[in-house]
Structures are given as C-alpha cells and as structure tokens.
Amino acid sequence: MSPSTRRLSRPKILRRIPPRNRSFPLEPKLPPELFNLILDYLQFSLPTLKVCCLVARSWNARCQPYLFRVVKLDVWNLPPVALQIRKRPFIRRLEGLSRKSHLVQFTQRMWIETTSYRVGNKVTPKFLYQILTNIPMFTNLHTLVLNVPWNFCWGSSSEWPSKTLGSSLSNLIRQNPNLNSLSLSNPIFSSLDDLLAIVGFYSLNLEHLTIENVQSIPEEMRETTSDEFRLWMEEIVAHREPHHFHLSMLGLGFMHPRIRDEILMYPGFIDWKEVKHLNLSWDRHHASSCSTLLYCCLHDNLETLILSIVCCTDICE
C-alpha cells in the first residue's frame, strides 16, 4: 500500500467518543431522599426553583409540582392601563396550560379576583367569559375562589350565554373531588339546578363554603308561595343524592331570600353543629329572615360569628 492511499487513523486520544458515553445523566446524582428534602425546603422560594429548572434539566420535571400549584388572576390593585395590557397574555397562558395536560394535575389553588373598585378599572363581561371558558380542567384543586363583579348580568347577550358558563364551572367541580374550599361571588347559574350542583353535591370533602350575590331563580318562581316553592325545589333535588355537609366555615351574603331560607335550611343539607366560623350578610330589604337562619346556627361549637346588614339599596338592582 502506497503512502498516498494509506488511510490515516486518528490517535486514540482524538477519537470521537460514542454519544452514550458523553451524554449527561438526566437524574441527579443526589440520593432521592436528599433531593426531596431540598425541594421541600425551597418550595416557597419560587424564583430559586425557576433558576434551578433553567440550570439543570433534571430539576425541570421535579419542580413542576411546586411551580404550578397556584393559578391566580387578581385585578384588585391593577391600574386600568396595566389591566388592558395583561388581559391577552393571561388568556394565552390559560390556553397554553389547558394544552399541557400533564401540568393540570399539579395545580391545587386557583384564585380569580376580578372585583375592583378602582376608578376606570372596568372588567368587561367578554374578558371574564374568555377566562371562565378557558379554565383548564384541573383534577386536584383544593381551593377555588371566583369573585365576579356583582353588577354583571350574565345571559343578557347571546354572545355570552350563561348556560355555557354554568356548565364550565359544574364540570370543573365534578372533576375535583378533593375540593375543600369553595368561594363564589356572583357565580354563573342559569337555573336553581345549577346552583345545587355548584354548592357541593360533587364535593364530598368540602369544608369551607362561601357564596354571595346569588340572585338566579326562575322568574316564574319568584311570585309563588313558600309551599309551592318548596315543592318545586323537592322535585329538583329528588333525582340527586345530596350528602350531609360537614362544614367548618360558612359564608353567605346577599342571596335571594328564598334560596337562602329554603335551600340552606333544607333538612340534612348542612350539619349546623359542626360550623365553627359563620359569616352572614343581608341587605336591609331581606334582613327579616336573619333570625330564621340564626336559629339553627347558634350552638356551643360556634367560635366566630360575623353579621353584616348593608343599607345600600342599589346592591340588589
């Protein structure tokens, strides 16, 4: 073989290392027990966890349960300009989270606080409709807080049908059997049947319940007598199997008097002797029913009682 045709061989030290030998392990070299201790220590320091995810790929999957525990939208303190800027990105993030089905199992708490009294800070029904219809179908929620401006009239436009919103919330509660804290202000109900479903027929572990501004009741039932209304309600709940609520905290405010007195006083619906913290609100037109509800609420185990009677007349309008 001539020198010109001889194949030059690389020195052993310069030979290419096989990919399997130079690939870095995905799992950390730390013992799993020590790794879990570090994560537990850093779980409340989200910036630190985010940096760890960027530096080491092995931390990415392990940190996801800590980084996606809470989904929160709070416009209480946002100025009008900031609210307008953040609307679209928030919707995009909800849509992106919905597409990543492996992340929804990590979220345990969800807050949507859209009630704002800042001058000029208006949350439009269209924006809220987009939020509520894009809520990911979480499966491990422990806390759900939804506060919507009390003067929103859902269902007044075919563009935002209230029935669609009620179905979205009902499905969300059905898929979260671990839900133990539920707070709804001006929730979306198209009928009393939706209200009964939302209040907890699908949440066997519910401990904290707060509902306010519930005025949804069919027009044809507003003028009926108490006996007629009770019969109508019994027909609705007849096909369900309502469990016995064991609530430690209960908050009720500005509800339609019939919903408050007929449903919440329904036999077997709530074990009042287990309620330790009670927060009740009335407007002056319906304050006469206060004593009726308090008759069953006052007991030796009650630790906190808050009564509020609002004299503003426009809150019911």
The model's pLDDT over 98-121, given as tens digits with 9 standing for 90+, comes to 666 677 788 888 888 776 555 455
For the ranges 6-10, 104-108, 164-168, 228-232, the lowest mean pLDDT is seen at 6-10
**pLDDT at position 210:** 79
Backbone angles phi, psi at 72, to 5 degrees: -140, 135
Percent of the chain whose predicted confidence (pLDDT) is above 90: 0
Read off the pLDDT of residues 148-181 as tens digits, 9 standing for 90 and up: 665 555 545 556 555 666 667 777 877 888 888 8
Residue 65: pLDDT band (50, 70, 90) is confident
Cβ pair 185, 146 in contact under 8 A: yes
* AA letter at 14: L
Percent of the chain whose predicted confidence (pLDDT) is above 70: 47
Cβ pair 199, 162 in contact under 8 A: no
Q: Give the C-alpha separation, 130 to 95, whole Å.
A: 10
Cβ burial, residue 100 (10 Å; 0-12/13-18/19+): exposed
User: What count of other Cβ atoms lies within 10 Å of the Cβ of residue 61?
Assistant: 11
3-class SS letters over 221-283:
HHCCCHHHHHHHHHHHHCCCCCCCECCCEEEEECCCHHHHHHHCCCCCCECHHHCCEEEEEEE
Q: Angle, to 10 degrees, between the axis of helix 162-174 and the axis of helix 125-133?
A: 30
Alpha-carbon torsion angle 126, 127, 133, 134, nearest 10: 150
Neighbouring residues of 200: CB distance < 8 A, sequence distance ≥ 6: 173, 182, 206, 209, 245
**pLDDT at position 24:** 47
Q: Give the C-alpha separation, 213 to 86, whole Å.
A: 27
**pLDDT at position 244:** 57
Average pLDDT, the chain: 68
Average pLDDT (291-309) is 78
**How many CA atoms are closer than 13 Å to the CA of 34, on its beta-carbon side?**
4
**pLDDT at position 273:** 80
Of residues 198 and 66, more confidently modeled? 66
First to last CA, the chain: 102
For the ranges 35-39, 108-112, 221-225, the lowest mean pLDDT is seen at 221-225
**pLDDT at position 48:** 84
The first and second tokens of residue 185, run together, are 């202000």
Instruction: Answer whether residue 293 shows pLDDT above 50.
Output: yes
What pTM was computed for the model? Answer: 0.65
Average pLDDT (17-39) is 63
**pLDDT at position 39:** 80
Helix (H, G, I), strand (E, B) or coil at 147: strand
**pLDDT at position 313:** 46
Of residues 205 and 262, more confidently modeled? 205
Residue 317: pLDDT band (50, 70, 90) is very low
Cβ pair 208, 247 in contact under 8 A: yes
Residue 141: pLDDT band (50, 70, 90) is confident
Q: Give the C-alpha separation, 136 to 108, whole Å.
A: 12
Q: What is the DSSP letter of 86?
A: H
Read off the pLDDT of residues 185-199 as tens digits, 9 standing for 90 and up: 766 555 545 555 566
Query: Which residue's structure tokens are 């800590």?
Result: 66
Residue 297: pLDDT band (50, 70, 90) is confident
Report CA 285 to chain centroid distance, whole Å: 31
Cβ pair 279, 253 in contact under 8 A: yes
**pLDDT at position 218:** 58
**pLDDT at position 195:** 58
Residue 1: pLDDT band (50, 70, 90) is low
Q: Give the C-alpha separation, 245 to 272, whole Å.
A: 9
β pairing state of 109-113 and 277-283: unpaired
Residue 51: pLDDT band (50, 70, 90) is confident
